[in-house]
A and B are shown apart, each in its own frame.
Chain A
Amino acid sequence: MTKLLTPPTLLTRILLATVMLAAVMLACSLLGTEHISLKKALEPSHPGVVNPDYEIFFRVRGPRIILAAIVGAALACSGAVLQALLRNPLADPYILGISSGAGLGAIIAITIFSRLNWMLWGRSPIAFFAFVGALATAGLVWTVARLTGKSQVTHLLLAGVVVNAFFSAMIMFLTSIANSSQVQRTIFWLMGNIIEEDPLVLWTSGGFVLAGIFALFFISPQLNALSFSEVDAKAMGINTAATQTVAFVLAALITAVAVSLSGLVGFAGLIVPHGVRLVFGPDHRQLLPLSALIGAGFLVAADTLARIVVAPAQLPVGVVTALIGGPFFLVLLVRYSRRIDWLAK
């Protein structure tokens, strides 16, 4: 039997993960196609005298790294929650149709609204449409599952899969009648991308994601019970329906924020929670914060690779997460599953 999780252990691990994330972010902000020195980057530009190191560090690379961290944290945390809710190891933030809903929103914005050159608060409408599409789809899937009545988990999954398939078909239809530059932009969006964003966008979305992660952390004891079975959870006096609803809404919200900022970055939401669970154990009080921190670090590192591997061009970050995350996860799976089995005997 593994040791019980004590508050000091938890706190130490969270602190260590935070320090690691900070180190990764600092290291990555010094890596890139343009070499910059930290010392020079800290001297601000004056009017007339532009300091490229400062501009790159604070206005190009910095915002991009922060965005990657926000997206990575949101996806990993929501993946962990959905795996618990659905009691399904294959669950990820996108399994309930959020990806295709956001994708459909994005492609509608790209094909229809960009033709009108329509802007929303001076920004391209893609992010807004993706956000609305993601939430609307999550709501649809949830309602359908509720309408079917009991044994919600299976129905939730089925509804998610069907809605995903249907919306993917609509995406393909719109792609096939769009013109080539729109197709290119759509595919690019679907692959997931991190670019530098406005400070205000970073600040608000970062705040929402942080609050969402904290809220999920508050209900982690209930999630622990739910991840065994609904019957057990009810026996422990937990209001399962309310917990499920709250967890689902929060996970959908932070995923929608992430997706509307970066497109569909794959894999981070699947492998990071699994990796954390394999290494540190399945207790959600620990799984959620550690997944968020490690997910953030993972996506920052992946995006840095995406920036520099094929320089001067760049890769979509989703390509990197899949290419690195997949094999890395397989190694983890083999190593830790064997160790745990061996210890159990």
Chain B
Amino acid sequence: MKIIANKWFWLAVFVLSWTVAGVAMFSDDTTAITEHGGPCPQRIVAMAPNLTEILFALGLEDNIVGVTEYSNHPPSARQKPVMGTFWQPNIEAVVAARPDLVVALGFNRQAGLAHRLARLNFNTLTVNIETIPQLLDAIEKIGTVTNKTAAARRLSERLRNNLDNISRRVAAGHRPKVLYIIQIEPLRVAGRQTFINELIELAGGENAIAPTINKYPPVGPEQVIASNPDVIIQPVMDVMEKADLTAGKQQLVEYFDRFQSIAAVSGNRIYVIDGDAVSRLGPRIDQAAETVARCLSPELFEEP
């Protein structure tokens, strides 16, 4: 009978019964993730800037009821309500927008988001966009779900054709080695497992950096000199006017001034481009490829 008076015994009983009660009450509550099904969605939330661009490109502007921060293209996307950043969405705002479809990215940063939304009984469509072929697939998948199959097909066809044209145009030339700078100080470049690498190869170049473990590896001066790139490119973010590009170029040229042995430096082949389109796997990927191609072989793109 001693045990009945023991507070530890009662604590153990409490923990056990509490857990059992919880399982009994809530275990059927875990709803399975429902991928989209049902009628054509009228109120769509896009959980990443490139998804917003795709929806706009499919002519769904009027159906978009929410976007994430930095959705700056096309300009009218800025008028849409913002539901947090794409890596930290504001779920309350999503609920308040009463969407009937939430489009999210399937990779790492948004893993779990689809699950959280599905638990709230939202229709979610998750697409993986990490390479150019995946982008084209995702466009068609989104088109199917939003009843814009024809527009989606046209868009992906157009992008595929434009990209093919660019790579045909540059096919004849030699393949310059390209160092694609993500940031200087500390120096970080685009590695081989990135869509930037795809862009470089489409545009007739070759990544100066050999395969690395990181997608965007930090590199030291030694590797920069050893890789001896023929062309150096850096995207500049938030370009408002031409002066931003000039300032960015000034900085980059000064930084590489000490590496005179590099072909790109001595040959004055350092380029700064508007980073908005080239940093995003979206419907402007053909423009991005052309921008890179112009840097690699400017002579092919000169107006007659």
A214 to B18, CA, bound (A): 14
**Count of A interface residues, CB-CB < 8 Å:** 45
Q: Are A114 and B95 in contact (CB under 8 A)?
A: no
Are A313 and B90 within 8 A (Cβ)? yes
| Given A185-B109, A311-B90, A312-B83: A177 and B213 interface contact (C-beta under 8 Å) | yes
Q: Which residues of A contact B29 (CB under 8 A)?
A: 198-200
Residues 161-182 of A, flagged 1 when their CB comes within 8 A of B and 0 if not, give 0000000000000001111111
Interface string of A108-123 (1 = CB under 8 A from B): 0010001001000011
Interface flag for A59 (CB, 8 Å) = yes
Asked whether A34 is an interface residue with its Cβ less than 8 Å from the other chain, the reply is yes
Q: How far is A315 from B84 in the complex, measured between Cα atoms in Å?
A: 10
Q: Is B119 an interface residue (CB 8 A)?
A: yes
Cβ B92 vs Cβ A211 within 8 A: no
Query: In the complex the two chains form, what is the Cα distance from A211 to B90 in whole Å?
Result: 33
Would B109 and A55 count as touching, CB distance under 8 A? no
The answer to whether A312 touches B108 (Cβ under 8 A) is no
Contact segment of B8-16, B219-227, B230-238: B8-16
- Tell me if A218 and B8 are in contact (CB < 8 A): yes
> Shortest Cβ distance from B29 into chain A, in angstroms?
6
Query: What are the residues of chain B within 8 A of A313 when measuring CB–CB?
Result: 69, 84-85, 88, 90
A181/B88 in contact, CB under 8 A? no
A211-B14, A313-B84, A314-B84 known; A122 and B115 CB under 8 Å? yes
Evaluate contact between B120 and A59: CB separation under 8 angstroms: yes
Chain A residues near B213: list those with CB within 8 A. Answer: 177
Interface residues in B, total, Cβ within 8 A: 45
Q: How far is the CA of A123 from the CA of B85 in the complex (A)?
A: 22
CB-contact partner of B216 in A60, A117, A123, A180, under 8 A: A180
Which of these, B7, B19, B93, B112, contacts A312 with CB under 8 Å? B93
A239 within 8 A of B: no
Q: B26 contacts A199, CB within 8 Å?
A: yes
CB contacts (< 8 Å) of A114 on chain B: these are 108, 111
Residue B174 is within 8 A (CB to CB) of chain A in the complex: no
Residues of the B chain whose Cβ atoms lie less than 8 Å from the Cβ of A56: 92, 95-96
Residue A329 lies at the interface, judged by CB distance under 8 Å to chain B: no
Give A207's nearest chain B residue, CB to CB. Answer: B18
Residues of B within 8 A of A210 (CB): 18
- B residues near A179, Cβ cutoff 8 Å: 214-216
In the complex, what's the smallest C-beta–C-beta distance from A281 to chain B, in angstroms?
A: 24
Distance of A312 Cα from B85 Cα, bound (Å): 8
A200, B90: Cβ atoms closer than 8 Å? no
Q: Is the CB of A178 within 8 A of B22?
A: no
Q: A123-B112, A207-B14, A312-B69 are in contact. List 7 more A-B contacts (CB 8 A).
A: A33-B90, A60-B91, A122-B30, A181-B107, A203-B25, A218-B7, A313-B85
